[in-house]
């Protein structure tokens, strides 16, 4: 299976503080990799480096063999990101936002792309509404459409269903499963929703204090740690003193 | 009550731009109006034969103000709408971001300028077009300096985050006393004159008054202004790239959008 993302010995220091301490992992095409860890474990820092928003202290990030530090623009063309902490401009309509980002990503046949995403993400009724006036679920679907506007090969998701009701959350999860299968993209999913991670991810990285403390499939981790579910595994690993420090 | 006081006290003492904001506003206002009052008290006949000089300078200054603030606003809008990260993960070079902001700031400034220019004639019987072809060169010089200030402030926003916002609003007022917009440079104390001569504004406004009052053109003023503009815009663009790299190192690009 083709590897789309390769992270090698990635480190990030903020002064004396080591936020990420030499982590390595790969994401294959048609794979969703879960990135779990308590707040401050280094998940956002890792995603920030993958997006080129943060400069690694050392190590490399390769997307389809291209290094982010050397080919930032080329890589940003085939990657995208969604987070509840980032919003689309509120005063623009959903359609205007999609046009703006389509232009920023230099999308050919932009109208076709918008039509495709509109139908897939149930956006037809809200396409001409002001983004700031939408509900959380509608905003989330609009942001997801933006994150897919460039038909990314790698999608980074930071808590994509946080603050959504169960129905919308389920819709988003089903959409992501189908979209991944259809497009064979790589997805990195950072989430605190253990049911979501169990459902979507074949493999998981557990981070704590900037290192990967464990990895494997949800089932193998549950079995290895002798717990009932992933949430209990998460709690065990989060509370355990770090052996690597 | 003490709790609420503490809430704002902590906020202010943890932010250098906020402390600076508190200190310099009153000082700048007093300095600017002090010089203007001084000038009019001692030169009551200076503007007698050139009705509209003040208004023309006000329009020129407003254009500078709108260009600079307009550029900053484009940047701040992205921060306020929490869209900043989306912008910086789009496949755009920094030079492309700067170019598009520079062009958009010009359109914004012109939208404000054109009605102001059109209004002065019917309302006050004055036309800024009396400056002739040199009006274009004065505007262009002000535009370059406004953009320069905008880029400098945006570099600060990148480096220090939204707390630098207050500086964005007040750069123009900070420079106003030194810009000699409404009075000749001679009115300033010697030390202030030395600072003022390092800014293109003095040459631009001196030349505007020279054209309107003396009906002569001193090209050397325009050349001085453009030379200084080139130096400052190179410095500001360099600083912007430096700030972007620093922000990538410090993590400001991630936090600024949240």
**Given a cut of 90, is residue B107 above it in pLDDT?**
no
pLDDT mean across residues, chain B? 83
A24 SS3 class = strand
The span from the CA of B64 to the CA of B53, in Å, is 17
Q: Which residues 93-122 of chain B have a CB within 8 Å of chain A?
A: 93
Q: Do B248 and A55 touch (CB under 8 A)?
A: yes
Q: Do B254 and A53 touch (CB under 8 A)?
A: yes
**Given a cut of 60, is residue B41 above it in pLDDT?**
yes
Q: Which spans in A60-109 are helix H?
A: 72-76, 94-104
Structure confidence by residue, pLDDT tens digits, A108-121: 999 999 999 999 99
Long-range contacts of B1-4 (CB under 8 A, 24+ apart): none
Q: Do B248 and A14 touch (CB under 8 A)?
A: no
* Predicted ipTM of the assembly: 0.89
Across the interface, of A53, A74, A105, the residue whose CB is closest to B88 is A53
Distance from CA of B80 to the nearest CA of A (A): 9
Residue closest to A7 by CA, chosen among A236, A211, A230: A211
Structure confidence by residue, pLDDT tens digits, B4-24: 667 666 766 766 766 766 666
Distance from CA of A224 to the nearest CA of B (A): 35
Structure confidence by residue, pLDDT tens digits, A3-38: 999 999 999 999 889 999 999 999 999 999 999 999
**Given a cut of 90, is residue A197 above it in pLDDT?**
yes
Structure tokens at A116: 């495709």
Contacts of B87 in chain A (CB under 8 A): 104
The span from the CA of B52 to the CA of B62, in Å, is 15
**Given a cut of 90, is residue A42 above it in pLDDT?**
yes
Q: Which residues 47-66 of chain B have a CB within 8 Å of chain A?
A: none
Q: With cut-offs at 50, 70 and 90, classify the pLDDT of residue B225.
A: very high
Distance of CA B222 to the CA centre of its chain: 18
Q: With cut-offs at 50, 70 and 90, classify the pLDDT of residue A53.
A: very high
Q: What SS3 string covers A141-205?
A: HHHHHHHCCCCCCEEEEECCCCCCCHHHHHHHHHHHHHHHHHHCCEEEEECCCHHHHHHHCCEEE
Q: List % helix, strand, coil for chain A (3-state, nearest 5).
A: 40, 25, 35
Contacts of B97 in chain A (CB under 8 A): none
Sheet holding A66-67, edge to edge: A17-28, A3-14, A58-63, A66-67
CB atoms within 10 A of CB B136: 10
Average pLDDT over residues B130-134: 82
Structure tokens at A119: 């139908």
**Given a cut of 70, is residue B26 above it in pLDDT?**
no
Residue B24 has what pLDDT?
Answer: 61
What residues contact residue A151 under an 8 Å CB cut-off, 6+ apart? A107, A113, A183
Nearest chain B residue to A100 by CA distance is B87
Residue B194 has what pLDDT?
Answer: 93
Task: Provide residues of A within 8 Å CB-CB of chain B.
Answer: 14, 44-45, 48, 51-55, 73-74, 76-77, 79-81, 83, 85-91, 101, 104-106, 146
Q: How many CA atoms lie within 13 A of B105 on its CB side?
A: 31
The span from the CA of B225 to the CA of B223, in Å, is 5
Sheet holding A79-82, edge to edge: A79-82, A154-158, A186-190, A31-36, A203-208, A211-216
Angle at A88 between CA A85 and CA A89, to 5 degrees: 120
More confident residue, A169 or B116: A169
Residue B18 has what pLDDT?
Answer: 66
Q: With cut-offs at 50, 70 and 90, classify the pLDDT of residue B29.
A: low
**Given a cut of 60, is residue B49 above it in pLDDT?**
no
Residue B112 has what pLDDT?
Answer: 79
Q: Do B89 and A105 touch (CB under 8 A)?
A: no
Distance from CA of A88 to the nearest CA of B (A): 6
Residue A178 has what pLDDT?
Answer: 95
Which residues of chain A are in CATH 3.40.50.300 domains? 3-78+152-239
Region of residue B125 (left: phi > 0; alpha: psi -120 to 50; beta: else): left
Contacts of B88 in chain A (CB under 8 A): 53
Across A45-137, the runs of DSSP E, i.e. the strands, are: 58-63, 66-67, 79-82
Q: With cut-offs at 50, 70 and 90, classify the pLDDT of residue B213.
A: confident
**A57-61, A140-144, A158-162, B144-148 — which is least confidently predicted?**
A158-162
Range A3-78+152-239 has CATH code 3.40.50.300: yes
């Amino acid at each position: 299976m083709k590897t789309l993302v390769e992270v090698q010995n990635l480190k990030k220091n903020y002064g004396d503080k080591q936020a990420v301490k030499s982590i390595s992992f790969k994401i294959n095409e048609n794979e969703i990799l879960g990135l779990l860890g308590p707040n401050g474990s280094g998940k956002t820092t890792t995603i920030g480096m993958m997006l080129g928003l943060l400069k690694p202290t050392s190590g490399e990030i390769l997307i389809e063999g291209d290094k982010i530090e050397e080919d930032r623009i080329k890589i940003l063309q085939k990657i995208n990101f969604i987070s509840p902490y980032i919003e689309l401009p509120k005063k623009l309509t959903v359609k205007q936002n999609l046009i703006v980002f389509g232009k920023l990503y230099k999308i050919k046949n932009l109208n076709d792309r918008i039509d495709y995403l509109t139908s897939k993400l149930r956006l037809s009724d809200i396409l001409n509404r002001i983004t700031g006036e939408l509900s959380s679920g509608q905003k989330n679907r609009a942001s997801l459409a933006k994150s897919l506007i460039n038909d990314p090969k790698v999608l980074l998701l930071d808590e994509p269903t946080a603050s959504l009701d169960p129905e919308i959350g389920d819709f988003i999860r089903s959409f992501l499963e189908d979209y991944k299968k259809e497009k064979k993209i790589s997805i990195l999913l950072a989430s605190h929703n253990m049911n979501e991670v169990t459902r979507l991810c074949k493999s998981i990285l557990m981070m704590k204090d900037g290192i990967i403390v464990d990895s494997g499939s949800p089932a193998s981790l549950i079995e290895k740690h002798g717990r009932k579910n992933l949430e209990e595994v998460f709690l065990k690993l989060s509370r355990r003193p770090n052996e690597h420090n | 009550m003490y709790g609420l006081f503490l809430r704002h006290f902590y906020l202010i003492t943890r932010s250098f731009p906020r402390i600076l904001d508190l200190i310099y506003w009153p000082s700048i206002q007093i300095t600017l109006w002090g010089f203007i009052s001084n000038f009019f008290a001692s030169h009551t006949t200076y503007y007698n034969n050139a009705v509209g000089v003040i208004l023309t300078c006000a329009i020129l200054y407003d254009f500078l103000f709108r260009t600079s603030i307009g550029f900053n606003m484009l940047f701040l809008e992205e921060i306020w709408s929490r869209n900043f990260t989306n912008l910086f993960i789009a496949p755009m070079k920094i030079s492309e971001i700067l170019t598009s902001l520079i062009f958009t700031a010009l359109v914004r400034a012109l939208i404000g300028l054109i009605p102001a220019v059109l209004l002065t004639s019917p309302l006050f019987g004055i036309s800024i077009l009396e400056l002739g072809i040199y009006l274009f060169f004065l505007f262009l010089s002000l535009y370059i300096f406004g953009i320069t200030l905008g880029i400098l402030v945006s570099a600060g926003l990148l480096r220090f985050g939204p707390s630098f916002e207050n500086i964005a609003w007040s750069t123009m007022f900070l420079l106003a006393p030194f810009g000699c917009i409404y009075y000749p440079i001679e009115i300033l104390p010697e030390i202030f004159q030395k600072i003022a001569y390092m800014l293109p504004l003095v040459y631009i406004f001196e030349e505007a008054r020279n054209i309107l009052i003396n009906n002569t053109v001193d090209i050397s003023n325009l050349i001085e202004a453009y030379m200084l503009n080139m130096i400052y815009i190179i410095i500001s663009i360099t600083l912007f790239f430096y700030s972007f790299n620093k922000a990538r190192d410090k993590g400001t690009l991630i936090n600024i959008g949240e």
